[in-house]
A and B are shown apart, each in its own frame.
Chain A
Amino acid sequence: MLSAPVQEQINRELKKYPADQKQSAVMAALRFVQDEKGWISTDDMSDIASYLGMPEVAVLEVATFYHMYNLKPMGKHTITVCTNLSCTLCGAEDTVAYLRSRLGIGMGEVTADGKYGLREGECMGACKDAPLFTINNKKLCGRLTHEKIDQILAELDKS
């Protein structure tokens, strides 16, 4: 079952679309679930499917197509590092290496305490700030240096 707040959020989203095209809200619905739980399980996909009156496999298609949906638990803070061209030219490889050594995990992994997850991402459309990563797809952190990464992690450690 989708939680009441998620249902409420989806209902608000549904007002943007014609009544017979409820499945237009599927991307938003997946986002709401991920915001709430940190990731989207296949059970959640079933729930979304029945809530929006669409086939389960169609929800799966969307959830697996877009990179920003977590299909397994990715920790409290999911750090997604862009590894596309601009960021790589500006040192994304070093960013990744530093994060791996700081967190002790590889790409697609989660720290043992469940606090941090590390993912590879695609271009965020902010190449002027390369290299960069996002936290939980919400906060963009750019012009990364080791010091800046330490600073960001220290702040996250506190929360």
Chain B
Amino acid sequence: MINIEIDGKLVETERGSTVMDAAHKAGVYIPHFCYHKKLSIAANCRMCLVEVEKAPKPLPACATPAADGMKVYTHSEMAVKAQKGVMEFLLINHPLDCPICDQGGECQLQDLAMGYGGGASRYAEEKRMVSPKEIGELISTVEMSRCIQCTRCVRFGQEIAGQMELGMANRSEYAEIVSFVNSAVESELSGNMIDLCPVGALTSKPFRYTARNWELSRRKSVSPHDGLGASLAVHVKDNKVLRVVPVENEAINECWISDKDRFSYEGLNSPDRLTRPMIKQNNQWIEVEWSAALEYVANGLRQITSGAGADNIAALATPHSTLEELYLLQKLVRAMGSDNVDFRLRQSDFSLVTQGTPWLGMPIAELNSCDRFLIVGSFLRKDQPLIAQRIRQAVKLGAQANVVHAADDDLLMPVANKAIVAPSKMADMLAQILKALVMHKEAAMPPELLEVAVGDAAKAIAESLATGERSAVLLGNLAQQHTEASLLASLANQIAELSGAKFGFLAEAANSVGGHMARAVPESGMNAMQMLEKPRKAYLLLNVEPELDMHNPDLAISAMKQADMVVAMSAYKHNAIEYADVLLPIAPFTETSGTFVNNEGTVQSFKGAVKPLGDARPAWKVLRVLGNLLDIPGFDYDSSEAIRDEALSTSNKPGNRIDGISYKKNQTGAVLERVTDVPIYFADALVRRADALQKTPDAAMPSARMHKDEMQRLGLNPGDEVRVAQGSASARLKVKRDDRLPLGVVRISAAHPATAGLGPMFGEISLERA
């Protein structure tokens, strides 16, 4: 530690830190544009010039290392003169169009120009013009003339997003920010560039010109999408959500959010919103009052309970539902005498028993300091964009990432070793790694591993894990949805134990951990798959669109169609109008109070940001009233907090310990098997209705993707139309070449209407020319 004096304040700062860092510590603000604490130092805007004692000229605070005994003056005559000079130069080419600029009112340049800019410009010549660029559906670059070349967006791409999509072309006064030949920026984190841009050069396309910054109220919230639980600020005007931006939370999302978190709000204002309770009578949907709709549901449930038995009632919820909603749903169903409640809709193997609630196994921030990773079955970048970002930072510091997966999607970071195999061979690959590790550690060889032949990839991965000091073994979405999920988890757990690694589950959704804590899983009843395999008479659907949210859409739809009563609690009018009997409009996350428990087990409660649209109501209130109508005791909550506290007092605490399941080689002889991803912008009901995101390449129409050799074997060409079939379920898709897949698999995305007629996410699939 060294001592440095800034504007007369003595501060202690770390050796190697900069004057800017020290100033932050001292609480002294130094004006800046290009400096950002999460990005590398560029020192190209020169706004942070300060006077340093004994230095003959002003120095940039962001790039000047603090030295012991240094005396810095940020507001001395010399410093202010330098800062004003820089500002004058910055404003030479900056169009002073603040009144029509979308950034006006929240612009760093505008703010600093108030402090350091002149009242009038001495520059009378023509300003330079920069032509607008087309870089996709999310970021507008129409006013590129406003750019001050700070290169924050470029550095963000290189350093945080992991892909350099923007660059600075040309030089001198011709320098401009471009993408390569106007290609679209495709990063799943691209929206952060809008926040980073200190001027109005990069603006949000969906938000542009809808409101002024000072007209918006800011309400804190929590992301309802992936398992990270990013802290959000929901910006509201006239009871309408107009945009979402990150709230800094170093332990969870740092200062970033994914594009899904940022732009999904468009779905809140979708014309698809369900705003009135509806009942189907004589095949006609009629709008009714809440009381009538809930009476109808209560009567229906009573009749089925007394007739066919309570066991015929099934409740399905998405893991995007709040803790309170999930808790009340299971409490309601259990009070009626059924134990059929589940939120693990895309799971297919339920035999895994963890000692507690499956979770990340460590704090999220700890990922940055791990030195070895084994990531099993994860479309990491698309499923958990910011966890991928943290692992990317760790890899940059020298960590080794190892991957076992069914698709070699680019993680935008160096991967030390990878084993890309068909889903049916993943367990074998983990067994190989385990065996290699056992041999490396000279531990006792479990008898079931004797027959396993260890390949080079497994050996390399085991070697990498064995040499780590702070390792992590992480199970991704695919591994959890896999038909052998419990075996994969058990093997991964053994690998983790043997290599001294932390073992964790990457949570699929915002409240996957919360769902377990709310006990919205069967104890003796049926799980999500069994409820479809043995169709029930009544289904309570909470946020669920069965053909898009479940492991086997074909089976789900047929179960819904056979049921006597389907109650769809949803924020949207969706396909349920085909088979449901009652539609209950419930509030999405911005219109209800609630709680999500994120991947690391942090319980995060939030309040509603706006009033529910139309007659929509928070689902916890709907379930509470339903409980009252059914005369269930203990349903007299007057706040979501009361439900949360009750839910947490009875919750399963996080715990990943697994009692070993021994490895058995599977005998599947499938020639062609399906690999399924849930694309980032199809993953939940809200994001499926976010217009701008739906126009990005990540929301492209699903296709049948195959390795070129596989295509050759089947005699297919890219673009050919094929009929893919799983038993009686089928879909027509176009063939697409994807050499990042192993042989023997077809990759078909789920959660899209085009593939909603298909069967399970994994297993045998056949394919013929249509």
Contacts and interface: CB of A to CB of B under 8 A. Distances in A.
A64 interface: yes
A55 B164 contact: yes
A64 B170 contact: yes
Nearest to A66: B171
Contact of B165 (A55, A61, A65): A55
B730 interface: no
A22 to B, nearest CB: 13
B178 A55 contact: no
A129 interface: no
A58 B171 CA distance: 14
Contacts of B165: 55, 57
A49 to B, nearest CB: 8
A120 interface: no
B574 to A, nearest CB: 40
A58 B167 CA distance: 6
**What are the 6 tightest A-B residue pairs by CB atom distance, in nearest-first order?**
A57-B167, A55-B164, A56-B180, A64-B169, A57-B180, A61-B167
A60 B171 contact: no
Given A61-B169, A65-B170, 11 more contacts: A42-B181, A57-B165, A57-B178, A57-B180, A58-B167, A60-B178, A61-B168, A64-B170, A64-B171, A65-B169, A65-B171
A65 B169 CA distance: 7
Interface string B370-402: 000000000000000000000000000000000
A56 B167 CA distance: 9
A60 B169 contact: yes
A46 B165 CA distance: 13
Most central of A42, A56, A61 by chain B CB within 10 Å: A61
Interface of A: 42, 45-46, 55-58, 60-61, 64-65
B164 A58 contact: yes
Given A42-B180, A42-B181, A57 B170 contact: no
Contacts of B178: 57, 60
B149 to A, nearest CB: 12
A54 to B, nearest CB: 8
Interface string B550-582: 000000000000000000000000000000000
A57 B171 contact: no
Interface in B137-172: 158, 163-171
B179 interface: yes
Interface in B522-565: none
Interface string B166-197: 11111100000011110100000000000000
Nearest to A57: B167
Contacts of A57: 164-167, 178-180
A90 B280 CA distance: 92
A58 B181 CA distance: 12
B175 to A, nearest CB: 9
Nearest to A42: B181
A64 B168 CA distance: 9
A55 B168 CA distance: 13
A57 B135 CA distance: 13
Interface in B5-50: none
A55 B163 contact: yes
Chain B contact residues: helix, strand, loop or mixed: mixed
Contacts of B171: 64-65
Nearest to B172: A65
Nearest to B170: A64
Nearest to B179: A57
Nearest to A56: B180
Contacts of A45: 180
A60 B169 CA distance: 7
Contacts of B183: 56
14 contacts: A45-B180, A55-B158, A55-B163, A55-B167, A56-B180, A57-B166, A57-B178, A57-B179, A58-B164, A60-B180, A61-B167, A64-B170, A65-B169, A65-B170
Contacts of B169: 60-61, 64-65
A57 B153 CA distance: 13
Contacts of A55: 158, 163-165, 167, 180
B141 to A, nearest CB: 14
Contacts of A60: 167, 169, 178, 180-181
Contacts of B179: 57
Nearest to A20: B414
A65 to B, nearest CB: 5
A120 to B, nearest CB: 13
A63 to B, nearest CB: 9
Contacts of A56: 180, 183
A88 to B, nearest CB: 18
A61 B181 CA distance: 12
A55 B158 CA distance: 9
A55 B183 CA distance: 12
Nearest to B183: A56
A108 to B, nearest CB: 13
Contacts of A65: 169-171
Contacts of A42: 180-181
Contacts of A64: 169-171
A64 B167 CA distance: 11
A133 B183 CA distance: 37
A55 B185 CA distance: 13
Nearest to A63: B169
Contacts of B166: 57
A64 B177 CA distance: 12
Contacts of B170: 64-65
A84 B168 CA distance: 25
Contacts of A46: 180
A60 B170 CA distance: 9
Nearest to A59: B180
A52 to B, nearest CB: 13
Contacts of A61: 167-169
A46 B179 CA distance: 13
B24 to A, nearest CB: 31
Interface in B277-330: none
A64 B164 CA distance: 16
Nearest to B171: A65
Contacts of B163: 55
A55 to B, nearest CB: 4
Contacts of A58: 164, 167
Interface in B680-711: none
A103 B180 CA distance: 34
B128 to A, nearest CB: 16
B40 to A, nearest CB: 15
B152 to A, nearest CB: 15
A45 B167 CA distance: 14
B151 to A, nearest CB: 11
A57 B166 CA distance: 7
Nearest to A55: B164
A57 B183 CA distance: 10
Contacts of B180: 42, 45-46, 55-57, 60
A55 B171 CA distance: 19
A65 B167 CA distance: 11
A78 to B, nearest CB: 19
A119 to B, nearest CB: 15
A42 B180 CA distance: 8
Nearest to A43: B181
Nearest to B174: A64
A27 to B, nearest CB: 14
B410 to A, nearest CB: 12
Most central of B164, B167, B171, B179 by chain A CB within 10 Å: B167
Nearest to B164: A55
A37 B179 CA distance: 24
Contacts of B158: 55
A56 B185 CA distance: 13
Interface string B734-755: 0000000000000000000000
